[in-house]
Amino acid sequence: MSLITFLQKSFLLFTVVFTSNSFAQTTYKIPSNVKKIVFLGNSITYQGHYISYLETILTLENPAQKREYINVGLPSETVSKLSEPNHANGQFPRPNLQERLKRILEKTQPDFIFASYGINDGIYLPFSPKRFHKYKKGMFWLNKQISKHNIPVIYVTPPTYDKTDGEAYSNVMDLYADWLMSLKYTQNWNVIDIHESLKNELLNHQKINPDFRFTRDGIHPKEEGHWIIAKELLQSLGVTKIQNATNINEAIAMYSNGDKIYKLIDERQKIMKDTWLNYTGHKRPNMEKGIPLPKAKEAYKTIQLKIDAIIK
């Protein structure tokens, strides 16, 4: 599918802007008619901090634009359909998106999708062409399924894996992220690179403090790591006001009542993510069930009224 055809079908607009560093940066625009945005991913998406940050800033930027940000990230998930023999101490194999994507699309009816996979797809082993092929195959499958529904999608590169926890797997993630970015130019995919930003920030911090880490385990970013993810997404969506903010608190301080709006949105995200996961269904054990969808929707509306009252 050509880029023009894809954009005509999906209504995903983009522009190219030039920075003072003389490189081209693609800026994407979420169309104004988008009402439901779904986030596909693994445990980092399930953590949800970057989604709360993103929703907060976009809401503060355009309070009149009402959108639902649906987090269906599932811990341990892959698109490669691979799993370690002893994953979770042998309790269960890694779930895969192939098992649940159809239900997600049917039950959430998204107008727009963000998808981030890769960190689990090499199953924390040194580089293997076979495993890499499985990841590629899974990503092409995902793009084909989304394209069938003419849903605009932005792919997000996998985050960094801290070299402190294993240089070999850190290099694997470099390769996976580079490959995904290459599809932006060879396949006209819409891709935002969070990997390079996280990697550069991590290296800069570790030059000063070798013990500095964005994660507790090499994988899951702490809140400052989630802010870097959110900031990269926001800047790629054309929100430049927050480019010098080093955390979410500095960012929301730039807006009237930003702290109040953020707390309400974050509270709502925490309620809704377990509800949506349970409602759409999955095979991963030991997950919270959340409250039933009708009650969750009531809670959603109640919080929205509080947000509207503050914005007015």
CA distances from 304 to 220, 222, 259 (A): 29, 27, 15
pTM here?
Answer: 0.92
pLDDT digit string (tens) for 67-77? 999 999 999 99
Measured CA to CA, the distance from residue 3 to residue 29 in angstroms comes to 15
Residue 62 near residue 243, CB atoms below 8 Å: no
Other beta carbons less than 10 A from residue 190's beta carbon: 20
Could you tell me whether strands 153-156 and 112-116 are parallel, antiparallel, or unpaired per DSSP bridges? parallel
| Residues making up the chain, counted from first to last | 312
The residue extents of the domains of the chain are 34-311
Residue 261 pLDDT > 50, yes or no? Answer: yes
pLDDT digit string (tens) for 270-282? 999 999 999 999 9
Measured CA to CA, the distance from residue 78 to residue 131 in angstroms comes to 12
Instruction: Provide, rounded to the nearest whole percent, the portion of the chain with pLDDT above 90.
Output: 83
Q: Does domain 34-311 have CATH number 3.40.50.2300?
A: no
Give the DSSP letter string of 294-308: HHHHHHHHHHHHHHH
Residue 190 pLDDT > 70, yes or no? Answer: yes
Partners of 294 in beta bridges: none
The pair of structure tokens assigned to 93 is: 């194999």
pLDDT digit string (tens) for 93-143? 999 999 999 999 999 999 999 999 999 999 999 999 999 999 999 999 999
**pLDDT at residue 25, rounded to an integer:** 65
> Residues with Cβ < 8 Å from 265, sequence gap 6 or more?
52, 55, 56, 59, 303, 307
Scored b (16 or more CB within 10 A) or e, 110-132 reads bbbbbbbbbbbbbbbeeeeeebb
**How far is C-alpha 50 from the geometric centre of its chain's CA atoms?**
7
Query: Which uninterrupted H or E stretch holds 57?
Result: helix 49-61
